[in-house]
Amino acid sequence: MRAESVAPCRCAVTERADLRLGRWQDVLSDVECDTLIVDAPYSERTHGAYREMESVGRNAISYGCWDSADVDLFVAAWAERTRGWFVSLTDHALARAWETAMLGAGRYVFSPIACMEPGSRVRLSGDGPSQWSVWAVVSRPKTRAAQAWGALPGGYVVQASEGWRGAKSAGGRSGVMGGKPLGLMRALVRDYSRPGDLVCDPCVGGGTTLLAALTEGRRAVGAEMDPAHYECARKRLAKGYTPPLFADSSAAQQEQIEMPGMAHRGRDGDE
């Protein structure tokens, strides 16, 4: 897609959400945030694998892949404007590039965290292991206040009730290739931000991260350059998320599960 063909516009979807159409480079230059959570395009390794599988019925990814130069540009632009945690979901091939860029920006970077969805991305060709994981590369500023945030989970497992088979009752997938389960994004939002914080996602896709932020009582801002994806996100945010009243028991149970993070302390270290 030619990003220049999209006329930047601004759209405040709800009181707490600000969703903008256009490239983040063009439409978010005035934004600073408390927490940044991004699920940017993955590497050529992932995008190429999807292209190869088109002949056996898997959809190709409609947006271009990223390389380490894209990651460098992104982190250089956002590290200074992100007051707290910086979380990037990515594939194994780009995880090191995110880590290197965050280190270069003077942040404290943790080893990548696996986000597992058992049963996902089965190898339709029957050749070897499926790919159940994406990686969250996370970093924080090197301040005493950020260091006192509290212990966090070392991984996330998407439950069947919120994965492909249970997506509807658990808030639905975004409909965008690469869209993430709402439950996973809600857990990340809970762990890496506080109520009332401004969570930014510069590559919104179908809006799962922003919807998760709103659902968890945060404020949300983001951009999406593909008009169809933008429209999908706009509709989802306008509708909001209501947990199903009569969900099957596993989905209902999932709504109640807290990821096993410790109780959070205030950003300034207060209890």
CA–centroid distance for 180 within its chain: 7
- 170 counts as binding ligand SAM under rule CB under 6 A: no
- 180 counts as binding ligand SAM under rule CB under 6 A: yes
CB 163 within 8 A of CB 119: yes
Question: Could you give the angle at which helices 208-215 and 182-192 cross, rounded to 10 degrees?
Answer: 60
- 229 counts as binding ligand SAM under rule CB under 6 A: yes
- What part of residues 113-152 is at the interface with ligand SAM (CB under 6 A)? none
Q: Per-residue string for binding with ligand SAM, 80-119, x by CB under 6 A? A: ----------------------------------------
CB 36 within 8 A of CB 202: yes
Segment interacting with ligand SAM, rule: CB under 6 A, options 48-56, 116-124, 147-155, 174-182: 174-182
- 43 counts as binding ligand SAM under rule CB under 6 A: no
- What part of residues 49-68 is at the interface with ligand SAM (CB under 6 A)? 63
- 163 counts as binding ligand SAM under rule CB under 6 A: no
Out of 226, 237, 251, 254, the residue judged to bind ligand SAM by CB under 6 A: 226
Beta bridge mates, 89: 136
For residue 219, what are the CA distances in angstroms to 21, 32, 160, 231, 260?
A: 18, 12, 28, 19, 23
Out of 167, 210, 223, 237, the residue judged to bind ligand SAM by CB under 6 A: 223
Q: What gap in Å lies between CA 38 and CA 117, rounded to an integer?
A: 18
Segment interacting with ligand SAM, rule: CB under 6 A, options 18-26, 76-84, 156-164, 252-260: 18-26
> Which of 192, 172, 169 lies closest to 182 in space, CA to CA?
172
Site size toward ligand SAM (CB under 6 A) is: 22
- 24 counts as binding ligand SAM under rule CB under 6 A: yes
CB 137 within 8 A of CB 42: no
> Which of 23, 1, 20 lies closest to 10 in space, CA to CA?
20
Q: Which residues bind ligand SAM (CB under 6 A)?
A: 23-25, 39-41, 63, 174, 176, 178-180, 203, 205-206, 208-209, 223-226, 229
